[in-house]
Structure formats: C-alpha cells, structure tokens
C-alpha cells in the first residue's frame, strides 16, 4: 500500500491548527484543518508515523466509505457494500463507535448495532462464520460518523485515544489529558525554549502530566512509544516491517534526545500527588530526568544554575475550589512568585476562569483558547520582566489586603451601586413571596434567587440548620459581558446577600458554576471541610457548602423525594446513581420494607451512610452498594431481583476511572431504563430524572412500558422561574 490515502486526525476543539502544523512537521501531505480535527494524506508509513508521533491527536481515522443514509436500511446497505475482508478476517474481534449530529438516525447505539449486523452478515454470507464483537480493545475498531444524514465509515488506526500514552500509573482527581498538556506546552513555545537550554518548572504539578509531556517533547520521545495496543496491529494491510523500522527510529531518537534534556522540575503541596507524579514519571521511563518535590506554592524557586525557561501552571479555577477570595489570592501569589523569583522567564497559566487570571499583575502578550473537556479555558502567556507589570489600580491588587480590606472589596449599603440596590430589592421581594409557602410546608432549604436579574447571574440557596447558611453559585458570564464588569457585579452580590439575609459573611459560600462533564460535579472542590445538619420534613441531612460543587442535597428534587416517601411504605426501593442517598433516607423513614442504594463513588456512599446513621436507619435492611450502575443492573437481572419502586437520576456524562466505558445519558438512557424495568414488579413504578437541559426522551422506543412525563408536577414554587432545572418521567409496565 504505497499509494497515498486520505486520513483524518481527530482532536479536541481549539487544537486543530497546531495539530495541522504538527502533522506537516512529521511529513503529512495536503494537510487541511477542519472542525474537530485535520485531514491529511500519505502512505501507510505516514499513517503509522502519525499514530506514533502525534502529541495532539485523539485518533487517526482512515475513511473507507461515505454515503447518504436517512434510515436504518440505508445505513445497513452502505455498510455491507464495504469489502470488510480486505481489512480483517473472522478470527479478529471488532467494535463500532458511532457519533451522530443532526441526522434522522439519532441513536448511536442503534446505529452501531445496524453497522455491526451488516459486517457480520457479510462474513456469514461469504464464510459461514462470523467475527465476534469486543468493546474493550478489539482487534479492529471502526468509526461511524453520521452528520446531516451522511455516513462516513473509517478504520480507527489508533484503536484507542492517542492521549493515553500508557505512562499514567496513578492519577489525581481531574488530571489534564496528555494531549491537552502537550497543546498548552506547544502554545507556550516550550520546544524552542527547551532547544535553547531553558528549564521548566511546574509549581502545582499534580500527577506530573506537564513534566512528563515536557520531557518527552524536549527529548524528542515519541508519545506512542510505550503503547502496546493500536488499531492497526490486526489490520490485514498492516506492515510489521514498516512499524518496526519506525519503532527503531523512535528508540534511537529517544536515546539521543535524553542526552540534551534541560532541567525539568515540579512541586506540589500534596505529598500524595508528589508520589503519584513520581510513579508516572517512572512508568514513562524518565526517572532521573525529572525532579519532583513536596513544597507549597509560596516556597518554589528555580535553581541558580538554571537558564531561565518556562514556568507553567494549571491552578484551580472554580471547578475544584469555590471561594473566589482564596482563588484570587492564589493567583496573586503566582504573580508575586514570578516577579520575585522567576525574572526573565516565560510563564504560562492555563485556566478556565479569565476573571481570576486578571489577578496576576502581569500583562499577557498572547492568549489562546483551548477546552478542558467541555470547559472553555485559556492559555495565558507572559514574559516575566519589569515593564510587563501593572500597578495597584487592578482589582487583584486590592485583594492582597485579604480580610482587612473587606470595605474596599465589598461596599456598604450607603455605597451600593444602583444595580446592587436593585438586587437587594429583588431578594427582599422573593423572601416576602416565599415566606408563607415556606412556613406552611415547613421548608428549611430552598432556592431564593435564580438569575432573576440578567445582570446578576447567580443562584442563591438557603440552608437552615443550627445556623442559616447561604450557598451562592455564580453562573459563567456570556462572552458578551465585560470580564471586569462581571467581577464588579459579583462584588455587589457578596455585599448585598449578608445584609439582606442578616447572616455573617463567613456563612456565605461562593462557587463558580460551569457546565460539568463526567464526574467533575462529584469531585472534591476544596479542603475547607464543614458539614452542616439541615432538616427536610422528618429527615435530617448533612450538607457541605464548600468542599464540593454540589452540596449533597439537590433542592430541586424536594417534590420527588416527597412523592417517593408517600409511595414507599411497605415496598422494596432501589436508588440508582444515588449520590448521598437523600431519596433513600426519605423512603426508609416512610416505611420502605427494604432498599438498595447504588453509586460508584466511595466518597458519596460514605456520605450516604452518614445520612442513614443520622436518621437511625437500619443498615441491615437498607443496603449501600458501591458499583458501576450499568454493571450492577446486569447482575441484578441475572439474580432476578425485584423492586416495587425505583428512582434513577444519572449524571449527564461520566468517564470515571472506575468505569470501563463512558456513560452518556442521551446515548445510554434507553439501555439503562430497559434494564431497570426488568427489575420492576408487575405493579412497580420507576421514576427517571435528568437535569440535562438538551435531553430528548423518545417514549416510542419503550414498547413494554407506559411512560408519563411528570416534570411539571415535580417543580416546586422556589424553582418556578427555572422549570427546566430537571425533567422527570414515571414509567410502569404495560400489563
């Protein structure tokens, strides 16, 4: 196969242009960037070289067929026309990955099934045998992309995402993906800095991803050299001799490159993280080439013998820490350390909160947009030199005073802006409106305000226990809103809330709320600690307003919890994706004969256990199970377990390290609910809820279930302004 073939290298949004440059540099022809990736041409060796050497790509795809398909029949007919025997035989396993955009065929799992059937049928027609499907590390992986009713079938030469370099022996919470770290370093100009002998320092190194990627780039180490699995290894047209030649070349380049590696060092305040970083560096076979120590940010400094190089950091930006003042101080500390200890260096800060970046008193000479999952982030590049610093008029400079400068940060009522006064009036109006309803229904935890005024885009929740606590979530401002103006309005809110609600400022917790993916919403945000007991009806709960993005009690689910309590007496209850078990607590207190509470997170199951013990719930009758819910369902079905009442409130998306597969609510809800329905008794009820705003529920696919949308009935008075806070369905068996 010496002729040129067209390929597509997929990548994350924002990385297309630098991926195009990278592919050109390693010999690709006719390179053209596109949304989500780059097209290029080359022979087999070029494709294999891209798999081995691309630091930025996710996958290398070789298109096999492109055709129009609006129906399953057309999808099948196009797939069966491909001569699959040219690519693999019946002894090989295979898998299909489908992604769909704006097409009449809109279920990816169903599309995968149709294409799988076509491939299997073709082999059975020609050989009377069929290849087997294997989801995890199949011999052959086929990618199906359906966009506006047009199908592209491709052979996935990478087999698995190329960001997996196979050096991550251990991981911290929410680590940077390896190719994202490489993209940040590329935008920072690290390759030239390293070539000139400049050092690299990461003062918050976490699991060491920046350090390892920087060393591999500087030492000319192929990012795929440690991988033992690729999609092309079982491909019928694969040339082992070409691959071995590429491996030999990469090994030689590694040996030569390590001899000229500049100093690379990282530190982290967490001893645990330092241990994880060292384990990953060892797995990357770079022990002795990278130094990692345990040290707080304020203690970091370069070696006096180093040539000034690159200071690179990925600080928290509101996804893992919620207190804006703490974060502002952290970013100021970064600026202070740069100014006093890293003069003459380049600095790169990667953050998802541009407001916080402005607390670094340095003028950025270049910034680039990248995405950390679904979170829009920026790479800020700085030159650390005297003429790049600005003075104390900046917001961040005021915040250096900390609590003693509270007056400067938070205006008093007499100093409020017109907007702050307007916000205060709205809060008083909402309190008056809700007062009678709250008293009548004995409600102690509720939403007071939800971006009622567009200028003040925050949600304000009240939690009443031994004290009154206020949980404020700032929604991400639209791009049209000036960043400095956004900070000023947040100041207004923080000044108004304690005064109107008559609570001390220390009882107000602030978090920046952005759209979450995966397990981010359940990960630890801070280490401040602080659980508070609150009451809901006859149930008591522990909430935590600082350490996690969510507090442990979804206030919008209050009506659902009440309904389940009314139905639970004498019934077996199942709570899937149970979070902190609040729904189960209500069911148990209402007299459920038994319950099973399933979640994959040890943190939240421990939290649920504490909630159970707080309410004196018998743990022998009410079981807590740590498991992947989809896998647990398979086991429960085999064991013929039955429940009269089931509640399911899954995350929108999850790629937890404990899961073998990624969970996507829109893609997987049909499989999830059909499995759960098999556990229902004849007269049982299943309640399904999701807070995915764009969720589309197709009740026509559930032929054995009666489906009723009960969303409107599950929205309480305090969420009337935001009726799309969640969707909810009642499902029962068709008897």
Q: What is the pLDDT of residues 12-38, one digit of tens each?
A: 999 999 999 999 999 999 999 999 999
pLDDT at residue 463 greater than cutoff 80: yes
79: three-class secondary structure by DSSP: helix
pLDDT, greater one: 384 or 549: 384
Residue 182, H or E segment: helix 178-187
Say what percent of the chain tops pLDDT 70. Answer: 90
Compute the mean pLDDT over every residue in the chain, rounded to the nearest whole number: 89
pLDDT of residue 705: 95
pLDDT of residue 681: 97
Say what percent of the chain tops pLDDT 90. Answer: 76
Residue of 404, 403, 383, 401 lying closest to 332 (CA atoms): 401
pLDDT, greater one: 605 or 169: 605
Q: What are phi and psi of 165, to 5 degrees?
A: -85, -10
For the stretch 269-318, pLDDT in tens is 999 999 999 999 999 999 999 999 999 998 999 999 999 999 999 998 76
pLDDT of residue 483: 61
**CB-based burial of residue 2 (10 Å sphere; 0-12 exposed, 13-18 middle, 19+ buried)?**
exposed
Residue 505: CB atoms within 10 A of its CB come to: 14
Residue 28 and residue 50: Cα distance in Å, rounded?
A: 8
pLDDT at residue 410 greater than cutoff 80: no
375: three-class secondary structure by DSSP: strand
pLDDT of residue 175: 80
pLDDT of residue 477: 62
Given the structure tokens 């982290």, which residue do they identify?
268
Strand arrangement of the beta sheet that strand 622-626 belongs to: 622-626, 594-599, 572-576, 643-648, 680-690, 727-733, 705-709
Residue 615: CB atoms within 10 A of its CB come to: 16
**116 neighbors 76 (Cβ within 8 angstroms):** no
Whether the full predicted model's pTM is greater than 0.85, yes or no, is no
pLDDT at residue 392 greater than cutoff 60: no
Residue 657: CB atoms within 10 A of its CB come to: 12
**CB-based burial of residue 592 (10 Å sphere; 0-12 exposed, 13-18 middle, 19+ buried)?**
buried
Read off the pLDDT of each residue in 662-689 and give the average, rounded to a whole number: 94
pLDDT at residue 406 greater than cutoff 60: no
pLDDT at residue 549 greater than cutoff 80: no
Residue 587 and residue 580: Cα distance in Å, rounded?
A: 14
Name the β-bridge partners of 8. Answer: 39, 61
What per-residue string of b and e applies to 219-250 under the rule 16 or more CB within 10 Å gives b? bbbbbbbebeebbbebbeebeeebbeebeeeb
Domains of the chain: 5-156 (3.30.2130.30), 178-223+259-400 (3.40.50.150), 410-514 (3.30.750.80), 531-733 (3.40.50.150)
254 token code pair: 């590694």
Read off the pLDDT of each residue in 407-413 and give the average, rounded to a whole number: 52
For the stretch 724-734, pLDDT in tens is 999 999 999 98
Backbone conformation region of residue 12, classed left if phi is above 0, alpha if psi is from -120 to 50, else beta: beta
For the stretch 470-522, pLDDT in tens is 999 887 666 666 666 777 788 788 889 999 999 988 788 887 654 444 333 43
- Choice among 406-420, 599-613, 665-679 with the minimum mean pLDDT: 406-420
Residues in the chain: 735
- For 343, what's the count of Cα atoms within 13 Å in the CB-facing half-sphere? 8
**CA dihedral sign of residues 277, 279, 280, 282:** positive
Given the structure tokens 């196009």, which residue do they identify?
78
Residue 119 and residue 254: Cα distance in Å, rounded?
A: 41
Q: What are phi and psi of 270, to 5 degrees?
A: -90, 120
pLDDT at residue 616 greater than cutoff 90: yes
66: three-class secondary structure by DSSP: strand
pLDDT at residue 659 greater than cutoff 50: no
pLDDT of residue 391: 44
pLDDT at residue 401 greater than cutoff 80: no
251: three-class secondary structure by DSSP: helix
- Choice among 241-255, 363-377, 439-453 with the minimum mean pLDDT: 363-377
pLDDT band at 658 (very low <50, low <70, confident <90, very high): very low
Read off the pLDDT of each residue in 596-618 and give the average, rounded to a whole number: 95
pLDDT at residue 242 greater than cutoff 80: yes
647: three-class secondary structure by DSSP: strand
pLDDT of residue 445: 97
pLDDT of residue 256: 97
pLDDT at residue 524 greater than cutoff 80: no
For the stretch 700-724, pLDDT in tens is 999 999 999 999 999 999 999 989 9
Q: What are phi and psi of 306, to 5 degrees?
A: -80, 145
Which range of 334-338, 645-649, 659-663 scores highest in mean pLDDT? It is 645-649
653: three-class secondary structure by DSSP: strand
Residue 371, H or E segment: strand 364-372
DSSP letters of 141-152?
EEEEEEETTEEE
- Choice among 147-161, 164-178, 657-671 with the minimum mean pLDDT: 657-671
What per-residue string of b and e applies to 616-645 under the rule 16 or more CB within 10 Å gives b? ebeeeebebbebbbbebbeebeeeeeebbb
C-alpha to C-alpha distances, 579 to 163, 601, 615, nearest whole angstrom: 30, 8, 17
Our measurement of the distance from residue 616's CA atom to the centroid of its chain's CA atoms, rounded to an integer in Å, reads: 35
- Choice among 159-173, 320-334, 346-360, 628-642 with the minimum mean pLDDT: 320-334
């Amino acid at each position: 196969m010496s002729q040129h073939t067209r390929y597509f290298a997929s990548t994350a949004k924002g990385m297309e242009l630098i991926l195009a440059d990278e592919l050109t540099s390693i010999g690709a022809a006719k390179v053209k960037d596109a949304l989500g990736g780059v097209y290029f041409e080359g022979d087999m060796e070029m494709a294999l070289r891209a798999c081995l050497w691309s630091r930025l790509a996710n996958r290398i795809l070789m298109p096999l067929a492109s055709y129009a398909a609006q129906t399953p029949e057309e999808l099948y007919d196009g797939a069966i026309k491909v001569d699959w025997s040219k690519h693999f035989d019946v002894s090989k396993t295979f898998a299909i990955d489908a992604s769909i955009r704006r097409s009449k065929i809109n279920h990816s799992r169903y599309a995968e099934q149709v294409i799988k059937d076509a491939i299997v049928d073709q082999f059975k027609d020609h050989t009377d045998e069929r290849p087997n499907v294997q989801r995890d590390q199949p011999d052959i992986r086929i990618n199906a992309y359906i966009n506006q009713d047009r199908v592209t079938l491709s052979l996935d030469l990478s087999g698995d995402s190329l960001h997996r370099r196979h050096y991550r022996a251990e991981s911290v919470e929410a680590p940077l993906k390896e190719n994202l770290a490489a993209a940040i370093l590329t935008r920072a100009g690290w390759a030239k800095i390293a070539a000139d002998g400049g050092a690299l320092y990461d003062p918050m190194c976490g699991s060491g991803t920046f350090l390892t990627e920087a060393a591999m780039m500087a030492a000319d180490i192929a990012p795929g050299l440690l991988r033992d699995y690729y999609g092309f290894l079982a491909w019928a047209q694969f040339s082992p001799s070409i691959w071995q030649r590429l491996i030999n070349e990469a090994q030689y380049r590694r040996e030569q490159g390590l001899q000229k590696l500049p100093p690379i060092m990282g530190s982290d305040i967490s001893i645990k993280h330092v241990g994880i970083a060292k384990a990953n560096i060892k797995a990357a076979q770079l022990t002795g080439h990278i130094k990692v120590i345990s040290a707080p940010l304020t203690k970091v400094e370069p070696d006096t013998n180093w040539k000034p190089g690159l200071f690179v950091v990925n600080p928290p930006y509101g996804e893992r820490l919620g207190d804006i003042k703490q974060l502002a101080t952290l970013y100021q500390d970064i600026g202070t350390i740069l100014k006093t200890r890293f003069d003459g260096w380049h600095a790169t800060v990667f953050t998802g909160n541009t407001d916080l970046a402005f607390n670094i008193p340095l003028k950025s000479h270049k910034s680039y947009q990248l995405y950390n999952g679904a979170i829009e982030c920026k790479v800020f590049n700085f030159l650390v030199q005297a003429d790049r610093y600005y003075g104390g008029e900046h917001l961040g400079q005021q915040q250096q005073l900390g609590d003693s400068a509270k007056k400067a940060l938070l205006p008093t009522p007499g100093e409020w802006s017109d907007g702050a006064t307007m916000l205060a009036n709205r809060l008083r109006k909402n309190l008056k409106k809700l007062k009678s309803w709250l008293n009548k229904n004995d409600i102690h935890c509720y939403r007071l305000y939800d971006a009622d005024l567009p200028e003040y885009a925050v949600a304000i929740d009240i939690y009443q226990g031994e004290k009154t606590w206020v949980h404020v979530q700032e929604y991400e401002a639209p791009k049209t809103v000036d960043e400095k103006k956004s900070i000023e309005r947040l100041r207004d809110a923080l000044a108004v809330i304690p005064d109107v609600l008559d609570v001390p400022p220390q009882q107000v917790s602030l978090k920046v709320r952005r759209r979450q993916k995966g397990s981010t919403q359940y990960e630890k945000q801070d280490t401040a600690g602080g659980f508070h007991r609150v009451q809901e009806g006859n149930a008591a709960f522990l909430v935590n307003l600082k350490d996690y993005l969510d507090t442990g009690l979804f206030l919008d689910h209050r009506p659902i919890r009440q309904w389940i309590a009314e139905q639970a007496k004498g019934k077996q209850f199942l709570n899937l994706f149970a979070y902190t078990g609040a729904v189960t607590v209500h069911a148990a207190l209402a007299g459920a004969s038994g319950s099973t509470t399933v979640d994959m997170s040890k943190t939240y199951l421990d939290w649920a256990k504490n909630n159970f013990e707080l309410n004196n719930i018998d743990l022998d009758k009410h079981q807590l199970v740590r498991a992947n819910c989809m896998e647990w369902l398979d086991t429960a079905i085999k064991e013929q377990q039955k429940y009269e009442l089931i509640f399911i409130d899954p995350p929108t998306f999850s790629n937890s390290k404990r899961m073998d597969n990624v969970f996507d609510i829109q893609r997987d809800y049909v499989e999830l609910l059909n499995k759960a329905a098999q556990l229902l008794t004849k007269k049982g009820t299943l309640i399904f809820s999701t807070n995915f705003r764009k969720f589309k529920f197709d009740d026509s696919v559930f032929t054995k279930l009666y489906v009723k949308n009960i969303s409107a009935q599950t929205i309480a008075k305090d969420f009337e302004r935001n009726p799309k806070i969640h969707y909810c369905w009642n499902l029962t068996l068709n008897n």
